[in-house]
Structure 1
């Protein structure tokens, strides 16, 4: 059973949903799914683009660290969403692409991206965040740079989540080694890969890479051990965000891990490509 817009062939049809919808349930494609098979120029975008997304973030914040999200650093062309980065002239800041869904999504939900990381030390991201910025699911957060001293990150995908208290500020995310997934050989920037999450319920997340279950985050001790959610877990509807970031834990390190002018000017390195994103909810088969 699919939504009306999915009756024609879609780019993701060759990839079955890897998660189990449950007994007597099937997966129903949701209207936020986007194959990016339309044109949305950097300036002005298009009606199709704006039907699902807007440029920027969930609020007026411009981004972490040296990041300055800029509306002209995202576009749709050639069947792909292009999330770009470039130097803000005369500064050490980095202009970066970011788009956010109008719609809020909530569990139970399977979501997946097919993407190719940028070849920068910046993060290439696909994530969820509640409107009050207290609950976050990081489906994909990865650093694709082929710099020799960045090989550890190039071989890993960060698969995580956060719960926050905003005042006074507190931030929990799991720190276990399984949040940095590696298969021991793949440099994730070199090709397109599928990364997905099944947000089954408030206390259970399943992470999938190229259709394979690679991490399960389940239970109070993993999801919210400090009770920041008052015993509720991950319950809040969230916006979907696709962006790139120059994060301060990297650019503020010594030595600083931030892209050079040359890297930012190189179109073969400065673009995070998204082929498609898809969203499904489990519904009764009958």
Structure 2
């Protein structure tokens, strides 16, 4: 679950084809993802020949290994500058039963005119779904504004697409999740607590999780809206880059 991305390592990573909603088409093509120049990259391209109007062709990369708390993972990422989520997340399960930690779902160029904070906001959250419980799904946000970094942090006012930023999460235990941005604590969440610290569920994270990177979009306002199709033909903005990912587990000395 650590890689400097000097070459594609199929013993560590694989590509999947669960598409999300329209217009996303997840592809295993080497035109949409790969490793070169010391980066894992994921590119969104225009393909209007895909079925069901899935013209946003892109990719998702999973780690083969899984890990659990206590652990810390971080990655150095430069965002694609299109209206889409550039993601780095941990997951195990499906829509009905899963534990999920979204380290980032960042959109540097929302098109909907309804998410003015997105170019400055590190979108971080958790989900847990259990179809045997009520409510089935619990979630909470730990979003953080890059402008709230220390004044001495050199990346404080640098856009997600303008340079590489280092994003991380310290998964402390079954309840506590602390996010990091460029070496500083960012947002945090406690499983089963609301944003005011009130407990509404005793549920815990219990699954080992894999690392996932992907690039995807949707017309919904919560994501920031769809990019113009012309952006997908612009190779200067349509690609997400991951310089490295590094993952540690806590061990007794």
Do structure 1's residue 143 and structure 2's residue 111 form an aligned pair? no
> Where does structure 2 lack aligned partners over 5 or more consecutive residues?
149-156
State the partner residue of 2:11: 51
Change (3 A) 1:81 1:193: same
> Where does structure 1 lack aligned partners over 5 or more consecutive residues?
1-31, 41-48
State the partner residue of 1:240: 211
1:222 CA drift (Å) = 4.2
In 1, are the aligned partners of 2:112 and 2:225 still within 8 Å (CA)?
no
Residues 188-227 of structure 1: pairs in structure 2 closer than 5 A: 188-218=160-190, 220-222=192-194, 225-227=199-201
Whole-angstrom distance in 2 between the partners of 1:134 and 1:146 = 28
Deviations 1:65-93 (A, max 9, x none): 42111011111000001111012224453
Deviations 1:151-182 (A, max 9, x none): 4211111011111234798433225xx52433
Change (3 A) 1:238 1:148: closer
In 1, are the aligned partners of 2:24 and 2:54 still within 8 Å (CA)?
no
- Counting matched residue pairs gives 234
In 2, are the aligned partners of 1:107 and 1:235 still within 8 Å (CA)?
no
1:183 CA drift (Å) = 1.6
State the partner residue of 1:165: 130
Deviations 1:104-137 (A, max 9, x none): 1111110001000110110000001113442100
Change (3 A) 1:237 1:199: same
Task: Choose from 175, 178, 181 the match for 2:145.
Answer: 181
In 2, are the aligned partners of 1:145 and 1:189 still within 8 Å (CA)?
no
State the partner residue of 1:21: none
In 1, are the aligned partners of 2:67 and 2:210 still within 8 Å (CA)?
yes
Residues 97-176 of structure 1: pairs in structure 2 closer than 5 A: 97-132=59-94, 133-145=97-109, 149=113, 151-166=116-131, 170-175=136-141
Whole-angstrom distance in 2 between the partners of 1:273 and 1:243 = 10
Change (3 A) 1:219 1:100: closer
The runs of 4+ residues in structure 1 deviating greater than 6 Å are none
Change (3 A) 1:147 1:268: farther
Whole-angstrom distance in 1 between the partners of 2:192 and 2:111 = 38
Change (3 A) 1:162 1:248: farther
Change (3 A) 1:52 1:151: same
Whole-angstrom distance in 1 between the partners of 2:24 and 2:15 = 15
1:232 CA drift (Å) = 4.1
